[in-house]
Amino acid sequence: MPPSSLRVVYAFAREMHPKTTDVFIQYGTAGFRTKASLLEHVVYRMGLLAVIRSRVKNGRTIGMMITASHNLEPDNGVKLVDPDGEMLEQSWEEIATRLANVSDNDLESTTAQVIKEVNADMALKASVYIGMDTRYTSPRLAAAAVHGVIALKGTPKEFGIVTTPMLHYCVKCRNDNTYGTPTEEGYYEKIVGAFKNIRQKLPVTGDYSTTLYVDGANGVGGKKLNIIRKSLDGELDLNLYNLGGNGGKLNLNCGADFVKVSQQPPVGVEHVAFQRVASLDGDGDRLVYYYLDDKNKMHLLDGDRIATLLASYITQLQTACNAPALTIGLVQTAYANGASTRYITQELKIPVTCVKTGVKHLHHAAMSYDIGIYFEANGHGTVVYSQQAKATISKIAEEGEPEERKAAQLFLNFIDMTNETVGDAISDLFLVETVLCARGQNATQWMAAYDDLPCRQLKVTVQDRNAISTTDAERQCTAPEGLQTRIDELVSHYTSGRAFVRPSGTEDVVRVYSEADTQENADKLAAEVAQAVFDLAGGVGTRAEIPA
């Protein structure tokens, strides 16, 4: 493409998506995320970048998802999806940030510079898949994305309202047709189809009940489950709540993030003692479970619980189909409850790796195993399988001893039910339901595997959150000076105490996490550490700690 044709880049920007703010914006843990009113020019520019990225990848399809996940309604965001359905390669985050922040006047020259820098062949075709969540600001931003793609002569394809994992899945399928069909229907066929297949093989037994309540966070995930529900033929009886009607507001006092962080049940869900409830986040990529007991106390089954449940079942399948050579590992972050890590290493005897917060770090680490299970405590996670693992299990399904063959066929269905591209609340929900059904377990029995250490999360506002630096997968703080020593000292007063601090990648705050033997102690430790952050890292305002 001759440089003169880049003029349209500037013309579109000026006429349709001008930069109206000087607020600096950074491509963070999960793309750009801020007030929706500050994002139109950013999304337009990401449309440009998606086309450049597609050309650098030889015309393979790139995804763009418009969402701010579990944030409240006024926020929005955009993230790019790489050809294998993974998060954008980290080295491009800086380019994205640069392109998002230049003035309209400099946009044409910066675009040309980026094209040169990454050596994109602008004569190639480019394809970009665009999806959005249910926010009222999303259609306008999706239109800006389309304009960005068109400005550089790429081909946009709009998927309308989809969950984030559905878009990741479609991008992957478009670039690798052995994975599935790149449509919403293709997604249902693969994932829900596999679930129904398994249900034929595993009858409902024991204390498992097919009734599941779901908190849809008033977002897209609940709406999609409502579509799926009609095709389940009673194999799972979904009672859906918080579907966005009746004035319910997106993520407000509901959804996976609210339930996990506040450790309270969501509004809008009918409470029946011991009924298990699955809570999704606003864009359908996180899942936690909970139930209330007969004293109305909430019991949370978070990402760590899902990880341990899946890991133990997968180990069982591996043994049953006799494939001991396949390596299995579990990836967590510093937020993983210490009791879960102990259970995984000591009881399940599966190796655990701890990495920095953010899906890209977990996903990457999980891929070093034949079977890599990764979950953040907040409920984001999935399982990834190497080609070697799939080939081995397929071979056993064809040629193994009768019992091994049966187990391997079940295992293949289990793999099909998994969205390997990214954590997926819908896919994870079917995985969990399958394991509980296979074991004849109810939520209380699932909970009995180990006892969580009480924990607390808080956030502190400081002048510059980047004044906090961390190492050792965010478990140790290297700056400001003296903070780690203070944290160590505070922790030493508590039985089973543990605490860490880290700058948030999605909000302008510092996050504090604590664990201890009792809830009271965990709360106290978190408050003390929050105060230390406030004192040593330039706290703003008068109150050091705010619930996260």
- Residue 428 interacting with Mg ion (CB under 5 A): no
**In the complex with Mg ion, which residue's Cβ is closer, 141 or 532?**
141
The entry of Mg ion, ligand 16G, none near residue 358 (CB within 5 to 8 angstroms by kind) is ligand 16G
Tokens standing for 209?
């009940």
Give bridge partners of residue 471 from the DSSP assignment: 476
User: Shortest distance, CB of residue 177 to ligand 16G, whole angstroms?
Assistant: 25
The entry of Mg ion, ligand 16G, none near residue 506 (CB within 5 to 8 angstroms by kind) is ligand 16G
User: Shortest distance, CB of residue 111 to Mg ion, whole angstroms?
Assistant: 30
Give 453's DSSP letter.
P
Tokens standing for 395?
């071979």
Residues 6+ apart with CB under 8 A from 512: 457, 458, 459, 460, 499, 500, 501, 526, 529, 530, 533, 545, 548
**In the complex with Mg ion, which residue's Cβ is closer, 281 or 545?**
281
- Residue 382 interacting with Mg ion (CB under 5 A): no
- Chain residues binding ligand 16G by CB under 6 A are 29-30, 69, 357-359, 376, 378, 380, 504-507, 511
User: Shortest distance, CB of residue 335 to ligand 16G, whole angstroms?
Assistant: 8
Residues 6+ apart with CB under 8 A from 54: 60, 61, 62, 126, 127, 128, 154
Tokens standing for 105?
């006047």
User: Shortest distance, CB of residue 380 to ligand 16G, whole angstroms?
Assistant: 5
Dist CA 361 CA 357 (whole Å)? 7
User: Shortest distance, CB of residue 134 to ligand 16G, whole angstroms?
Assistant: 17
In this structure, which amino acid lies at residue 496?
Answer: S
The three-state secondary structure class of 99 is helix
- Residue 133 interacting with Mg ion (CB under 5 A): no
Provide DSSP, 148-206.
HHHHTT-EEEEEEE--HHHHHHHHHHHH-TTS--SSHHHHHHHHHHHHHHHHHHS---T
Dist CA 534 CA 526 (whole Å)? 12
The entry of ligand 16G, Mg ion, none near residue 82 (CB within 5 to 8 angstroms by kind) is none
Give me the residue whose beta carbon is nearest to Mg ion.
69
The entry of ligand 16G, Mg ion, none near residue 73 (CB within 5 to 8 angstroms by kind) is none
Tokens standing for 428?
């994870």
| CA dihedral for 251, 547, 497, 489, sign (positive or negative) | positive
**In the complex with ligand 16G, which residue's Cβ is closer, 111 or 279?**
279
Q: How many residues bind Mg ion (CB under 5 A)?
A: 4
H-state helical runs in 57-128: 93-101, 104-117
Give 29's DSSP letter.
T
User: Shortest distance, CB of residue 61 to Mg ion, whole angstroms?
Assistant: 22
**In the complex with ligand 16G, which residue's Cβ is closer, 152 or 512?**
512
- Cβ atoms within 10 A of the Cβ of 50, count? 30
The entry of ligand 16G, Mg ion, none near residue 378 (CB within 5 to 8 angstroms by kind) is ligand 16G
User: Shortest distance, CB of residue 359 to ligand 16G, whole angstroms?
Assistant: 4
Interface with Mg ion in residues 52-71 (CB under 5 A): 69
- Residue 470 interacting with Mg ion (CB under 5 A): no
Site string for Mg ion, 257-296 (x = CB under 5 A): ------------------------x-x-x-----------
- Residues classed as catalytic: 69
The entry of ligand 16G, Mg ion, none near residue 433 (CB within 5 to 8 angstroms by kind) is none
The entry of Mg ion, ligand 16G, none near residue 331 (CB within 5 to 8 angstroms by kind) is none
Residues making contact with Mg ion (CB under 5 A): 69, 281, 283, 285
